[in-house]
Each structure stands twice: as structure tokens, then as C-alpha cells.
Structure 1
Amino acid sequence: MPRQNRVQPTGEIIAIPTRGAFLGNRGVLHDETAHHHGHLTHRRWRHKAWVCCVLAFKNRRRRLMAPNRYTELFFFDEAVALAAGHRPCCECRRADYTAYLAAAGHRGRVTEFDTRLHAARAIPRTFGQRRHEADCADLPDGTFVLTEQGPALIWQDAMHPFLPSGYADPVTKPAGRVCVLTPNPTLTALREGYRPAVVLG
């Protein structure tokens, strides 16, 4: 039974069998019986430190959706995680964490950055995703946009439509303004050279 733990670029968390390339954490989003039924509560976060982690680290083992433990979320690749509002973990992805914050222009406590990122990605009380508009020509590689057909990744001068199972064949990037899913602090990091791990083809 697929569990409701696959995060989409739009912020939705769905139940599909596709395995993710990265793990995420937003706190406890399931109830005490979720290990058996696999569904989340209405909550979509419990704290502001939304991290993106590697799948394996120091031989640690976890029981999915265990009572009183954080809910294991999964992303198809890092670009999806960034669009959904996550950042690299400082423990299991230290080099990426340091590179990301440097590219984002942040100095100081990471809690301050998490507060700024949270304001750019989330709509309080409704647990919704905050989005904005921008000219497609100005968007860096690694950005997710929302089209009439669904979310799509900007990568290497093309647009790659995204499905829960992965990317479809690339199409021409649209001209003009588009709806952007990737939050602004992460857009800064992408513009300044942070390159996410993307799983194409």
C-alpha cells in the first residue's frame, strides 16, 4: 500500500508507489495509527526547518510513520524538494547545505533563514503553497513553474513537464510571465550557482 508521503512541486503530498531520491522532514504529520493506514492528518508542517536529506546516512533505520516520530516525506529529486520549499540538511548534506546558504546570500543563524524561507513558501492556517509570477526568461535552471498542464522544470533552456512518476519529454520554454512554484530565497541560490540534483531520463 503506497503511503501518503510523496511531495509534489505544487506542495501536494500524495500516495504513489514511485520511490523518491531524497527524504524530507517537516515534523509529525501523521497520527499514531498511520503506520498501518498510511495517511496524513490535515497538517502539512509542524516547524519551519523543512530539510531535504539523503536516503541513507550512518546506517540509520526508521519505521515509516512510527508513532511520535517525524513523518518521512519523499521527493522525486532535489529540484522537486526545493520547489516544495525544502533546503539541504545540515547534517547529512553538509557540503550542499553550506553551498546553498552561501548562494542564497545568507549569513548568520539558519533559523533566521528558515523563517524567511517559510514566509516565501507557505500560506499560514490554510497549509497552502505561496506562489508568485516572473518572466520565464529570467528564471534559472532548477526552477519549477506551473503551466496549464501542470508543474514543469526549467532546465538547460527547455521545460520538462513533471508527472508524479517523473519527467515527460522536454518542450520549448514559454515566453512571458509564468506562475513560479520555487520560493524566492531558493531562486536566489539557483541564480547564484547552486545546482540541484535532477533526475532526468
Structure 2
Amino acid sequence: MSAVRLLVLGVIRAHGEAHGYAVHRELMSWRVDTWTAVKPPSIYHAVKQLAREQRLTAVGPPASARGPARTGYRLTEVGEREFFELLEEALRNPDIEEFGAGVAFMRQLSEPRVRDLLTERLQTVEQIAIDLVAMKPQWPDAAQPPHAAHLLELWAAVFQAQARWTADLLAGLGGLDFAPGLPHRSR
């Protein structure tokens, strides 16, 4: 999965229609480059790629548009389905960048669906932390390179922190507004 695809589809979906620069400007206002590997060129590339793949359809600039002529884009039915598939995948994903992209749009799903996905993610990251800790005795002297035991402790702590954060997010969902019903369910 690609965080940039989800982010681009999500921004265009939220605006109904947007051109590449508007998508770029919106994502940069979120400081997306600080919490993902998404950079401005990848945003423009994703817009073009999604259009080639018919996830987006081009719409001409409005006749009253001022400034440079820019091609606007809207989601196609296929793009709409992909958005929800990527969103659900991201919300259960242990990868922090993909997950962050999902959190950005989680309110596009119903609260019960978000709870299900976050609960699945919580179980996954908890199990990863347990598995990493269980591997530690298999490694020899922790003081010798490659310091695998220390690295296992580091990664276990990262996943334990993700589990705590995900549990806190689950606990606070009641205060957010979510989309009614289930617009899409990939599983």
C-alpha cells in the first residue's frame, strides 16, 4: 500500500474536485512531509498515476478560473473503492506511516468500523512486541555487534508504544464525528 495514494485520493475526495497544486498545498498544510516520506514530487506523480489508472477523472479548469489553467480531478467509482480499501488497510497496518495516513481520514468510515480496524491493529502491534521480546534469548552477547538484543528491545518498545497510543485512540473515539453507515467494507 502507498500512503501517498491514500492521501491524494482522500484530499481529492474531501474537496470533491482538486488540481495537483491544491492537493499539494493541502497536504503541505498538514505538514505531511514531517510524518511520512511523502514529498511534493510524489504528490504530483501520484495524481498523474491515479489518473492514468482511471482512479481519477480529469475535469477542465472552470471558465471563470483566474491564474494558470490547471486540470482538476475527481474520483471515479474505481478511485472511490480504492480510497476505502486503502483506508481500511491503513487503519489495521502496523507501519506507522501507512497508519498515519489512515488516521487522517478515519472519520470517513463509521465509528464501529473504525473500532474494528483499530482493535485489529492493536492486537497486531501487541503481538509483534511480544514476538520481538521472545526472540531476545536467541541472540548471543548483547554487548557485541550487531547488538541485536538491544535492537530487539528498541523495536519491542516502539510497538509497545504504538499499542498504547492505539488503545488511547480507541478510548477517545466517542468524541469524534464519523460517517454514518458503512460506505465500503473490503473484508
Q: When the two structures are superposed, what TM-score results if normalisation uses the length of structure 2?
A: 0.27
Which of structures 1 and 2 has the bigger CA Rg? 2
Q: Which structure has more strand as a fraction of its residues?
A: 1
